[in-house]
């Protein structure tokens, strides 16, 4: 592993992966803006451009032996239609995969999402569970997965796709949209209002995984050439209801705020409760081994919320 390209490396997940890689390997990050920065260390070499540009992808990929593809349509471009979001995911994935094959790199890792399952995200979910994505977010990632598999299938590029569960952990940029993620938002609410208001009835049963584990798994699979090409579910393998998770965090945080933290649910929400469990066994030695929400990560989130 002589060098790693992180597309979208200034994003929420990208900053965690950069911190995990450290200084052991040169890291090249793509960015649409020269103004982007965050508090993650070390600061990488930055290539200014977009992965929607095929020439830019060819130029940046030739500098590295591995690529971790994280780039996606920017959150602040709300004017994009669903079709545009999906086609942008497809274009980015196609450009990166073609460049990876042409430059004969060692490894291509794509961070996808469990939302590719859509309505199939129910009960026991494996990598072979049918994908029935219904949102532009899920469909965009699913299309990107299919493009990457198709282009790299007859090449020597080791291709790994991770379908990520619900991540949590401190954003390196306090203005990051990552504060909207469930556990991050719960910690933010505790500090800002001293209470927790769930937007749902709280009975959805989801899989949560700390971002530091996700980043370490990416690093380990980059380094371990015995980790095979394929699609893997990247989660804890344990599911809890949103209300249970919120109550667990509130009890831990009460000494921080100095009073009891009330957890309220949306009594008007009558949606069917989502309940699933991810099959993470194919990850082998890289399976997440903890069965509870990571307290150290919660403490970091509470401190970050206080300073934001």
Q: Is residue 153 part of a domain?
A: yes
pLDDT of residue 290: 84
The pTM assigned to this predicted structure is 0.94
Cβ count within 10 A of residue 177: 14
Give rounded-to-5 percent helix, strand, coil for the chain. Answer: 40, 20, 40
Between CA 87 and CA 99, with CA 93 as vertex, the angle to 5 degrees is 135
Are 128 and 53 members of one domain? yes
Average pLDDT over residues 122-147: 96
Are 202 and 213 members of one domain? no
Q: Is residue 222 part of a domain?
A: yes
Q: Is residue 88 part of a domain?
A: yes
Are 134 and 185 members of one domain? no
What total number of domains does the chain contain? Answer: 2
Average pLDDT over residues 112-118: 97
Average pLDDT over residues 101-109: 97
Find out whether 190 and 196 touch, Cβ atoms under 8 Å. Answer: yes
Find out whether 112 and 164 touch, Cβ atoms under 8 Å. Answer: yes
Are 12 and 155 members of one domain? yes
Two tokens, residue 103: 């430059």
Are 191 and 146 members of one domain? no
Tell me the per-residue pLDDT of 289-302, one tens digit each, with 9 for 90 and over.
Answer: 887 899 999 999 99
By DSSP bridging, strand 239-241 and strand 205-210 are antiparallel
| Element spanning 161, H or E | strand 158-164
Are 197 and 215 members of one domain? no
Q: Is residue 281 part of a domain?
A: no
pLDDT of residue 284: 95
Are 58 and 198 members of one domain? no
**Domain limits at 180?**
171-207+238-275+291-307
Find out whether 212 and 168 touch, Cβ atoms under 8 Å. Answer: no
Are 51 and 111 members of one domain? yes
Are 36 and 128 members of one domain? yes
Question: If pLDDT is split at 50, 70 and 90, which confidence band does 177 have?
Answer: confident
Average pLDDT over residues 48-55: 94
pLDDT of residue 35: 56
Question: If pLDDT is split at 50, 70 and 90, which confidence band does 38 have?
Answer: low
Average pLDDT over residues 170-199: 91
pLDDT of residue 78: 63
Are 194 and 140 members of one domain? no
Are 48 and 184 members of one domain? no
Are 102 and 243 members of one domain? no
HSE, CB side, 13 Å, CA atoms: give it for residue 206: 21
Q: Is residue 100 part of a domain?
A: yes
Between CA 57 and CA 62, with CA 58 as vertex, the angle to 5 degrees is 110
pLDDT of residue 223: 93
Q: 85-89, 96-100, 118-122, 173-177 — which is least confidently predicted? A: 173-177
User: Which residue bears the tokens 């532009």?
Assistant: 136
CATH code, domain with 34: 3.40.50.720
Q: Is residue 285 part of a domain?
A: no
CATH code, domain with 195: 3.90.25
pLDDT of residue 159: 98
pLDDT at 77 over 70: no
Distance, in Å, from the CA atom of 298 to the CA atom of 1, rounded to the nearest integer, reads: 33
Distance, in Å, from the CA atom of 3 to the CA atom of 291, rounded to the nearest integer, reads: 34
Question: In terms of pLDDT, which residue wins out, 167 or 32?
Answer: 167
Question: If pLDDT is split at 50, 70 and 90, which confidence band does 40 have?
Answer: low
Q: Is residue 284 part of a domain?
A: no
């Amino acid at each position: 592993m002589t060098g790693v390209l992180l597309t979208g490396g200034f994003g929420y997940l990208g900053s965690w992966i950069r911190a995990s890689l450290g200084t052991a390997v040169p890291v090249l990050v793509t960015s649409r803006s020269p103004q982007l920065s965050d508090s993650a260390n070390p600061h990488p070499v930055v290539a200014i451009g977009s992965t929607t540009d095929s020439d830019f992808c060819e130029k940046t990929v030739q500098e590295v032996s591995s690529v971790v593809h994280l780039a996606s349509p920017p959150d602040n471009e709300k004017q994009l239609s669903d079709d545009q979001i999906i086609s942008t995911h497809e274009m980015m994935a196609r450009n990166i995969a073609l460049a990876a094959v042409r430059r004969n790199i060692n490894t291509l890792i794509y961070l996808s999402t469990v939302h590719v399952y859509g309505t199939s995200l129910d009960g026991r979910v494996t990598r072979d569970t049918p994908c029935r994505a219904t949102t532009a977010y899920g469909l965009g990632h699913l299309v990107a997965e299919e493009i990457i598999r198709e282009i790299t299938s007859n090449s020597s590029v080791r291709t790994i796709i991770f379908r990520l569960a619900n991540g949590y952990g401190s954003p390196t940029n306090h203005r990051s949209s990552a504060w909207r993620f469930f556990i991050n938002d719960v910690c933010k609410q505790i500090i800002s209002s001293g209470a927790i208001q769930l937007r749902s009835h709280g009975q959805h049963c989801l899989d949560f995984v700390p971002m530091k584990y996700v980043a370490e798994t990416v690093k380990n699979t980059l380094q371990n050439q015995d980790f095979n090409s394929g699609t893997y579910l990247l989660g804890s393998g344990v599911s809890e209801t949103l209300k249970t998770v919120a109550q667990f965090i509130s009890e831990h945080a009460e000494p921080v705020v100095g009073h009891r933290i009330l957890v309220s649910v949306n009594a008007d929400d009558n949606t069917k409760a989502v309940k699933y469990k991810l099959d993470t066994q194919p990850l082998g030695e890289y399976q997440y081994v903890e069965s509870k929400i990571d307290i150290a990560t919660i403490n970091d989130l509470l401190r970050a919320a206080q300073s934001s």
